[in-house]
Structure 1
């Protein structure tokens, strides 16, 4: 198992180097071939290890030990995540790119709550989302339709600024993001997002109270929750600070992540 796991940092380093060198996989055939070949090699090594594990059956029971099954599932999980991260994003970008001179740059970032993917042109940040968000592709589609743009997997100045601010946020040093953003949504959704940006770091507010602050009845709390679910700027527009009465409420990226973010801000708010 240790031999297989040792390949992960090497594979991640090489893939990251190839992506940074080529910018856009679809425009560099040689890089694509090397990229796919490396994945095949890595998967082959992993499969050989799995076969060796499967051959190590208990001589009497003829079944895999608990430790062996744990290793198998752990390895499969790693392979699945690597394939998703390296193949899903280029595929989605190719799917929603338009034949346009307007370029929107997309770049993934590592974070304590998972892989974060952001999109920006030279003026605004349009998206900050976790890679496994259920709205991930919908956000890319909206950007594509609103801007009629082509997507390139590369970091620009806006994304460099976001990268620095994300690092400071997770280090507990940054309380408010300053990267320029632009949102796409209904007037009501934009009103909710603007109110969310006013919520102080380390604080929370209920859906009903935010509805009241907009001059709406508390019964509009569901509409407020729906607007939070449509938020395309995770962390930058802090929808995680909105909670239900008596509970943390929902979160499009998982309640466990919401709890982590709230705990993180509470820890660094003093």
Structure 2
């Protein structure tokens, strides 16, 4: 596994790649002076930088995340949410063929997403249109949504 730290509008990020796949992005990373050299890490950093600059709306990166089949279904759905748009936890449950009442399970899967930003879990909001929990903190969620749609929140 190779890693790299990068600065961003949502704080320090630690990028993780393994076997040619992006496997994790961690918030609250502290710079440590280490910088693994890797073509995929270069590409992840480039695409994230473009995203934060408003120059990229979709990511074209090979990703792999360990999780349950349910989590993987939710994470695949998240990748299809268009840039600048939001959906609710209940909407995801319904669209995946479940009862809306399973929205808490969708929220838990969303919170377990190991590749935030690239797998845009920040685009999921509460049924009342309000921002709800986010593994990286609601402040980061607000920043990410504002980058995509200024004045939204």
Query: Where does residue 101 of structure 2 map in the other structure?
Result: 219
**TM-score, length-normalised on structure 1?**
0.52
Query: Structure 1 residues 193 and 228, CA, compared in 2 at 3 Å: closer, same or farther?
Result: same
Q: Does 1:105 align with 2:2?
A: yes
Mark the runs of 5 or more structure 1 residues left unpaired by the alignment.
Answer: 1-103, 133-151
> Residue 205 of structure 1: which of 69, 75, 87 is its match?
87
> Residue 123 of structure 1: which of 5, 20, 25 is its match?
20
Query: Where does residue 161 of structure 1 map in the other structure?
Result: 43
> Residue 137 of structure 2: which of 240, 247, 254 is its match?
254
Structure with a larger share of its residues in strand: 2
Mark the runs of 5 or more structure 2 residues left unpaired by the alignment.
Answer: none
Mapped partners of 2:67, 2:19: distance in 1: 21
Residue-by-residue CA offset, 1:127-146 (whole Å, 9 max, x unaligned): 112126xxxxxxxxxxxxxx
Query: Structure 1 residues 164 and 153, CA, compared in 2 at 3 Å: closer, same or farther?
Result: closer
Q: Does 1:264 align with 2:147?
A: yes
Contact 1:122 1:156 in 2 (8 A): no
Mapped partners of 1:158, 1:205: distance in 2: 30
Structure with a larger share of its residues in helix: 1
CA shift for structure 1 position 121: 2.5
Mapped partners of 1:111, 1:211: distance in 2: 31
Residue-by-residue CA offset, 1:213-245 (whole Å, 9 max, x unaligned): 010011100000000111000101000000002
> Residue 184 of structure 1: which of 56, 59, 66 is its match?
66
Residue-by-residue CA offset, 1:6-61 (whole Å, 9 max, x unaligned): xxxxxxxxxxxxxxxxxxxxxxxxxxxxxxxxxxxxxxxxxxxxxxxxxxxxxxxx
Answer with 1 or 2: which has the greater Rg: 1
Give me the CA root mean square deviation.
Answer: 1.3
**TM-score, length-normalised on structure 2?**
0.91
Aligned residues: 145
Mapped partners of 2:80, 2:91: distance in 1: 13
Off by >3 Å, runs of 4+ in structure 1: none
Contact 1:229 1:251 in 2 (8 A): yes
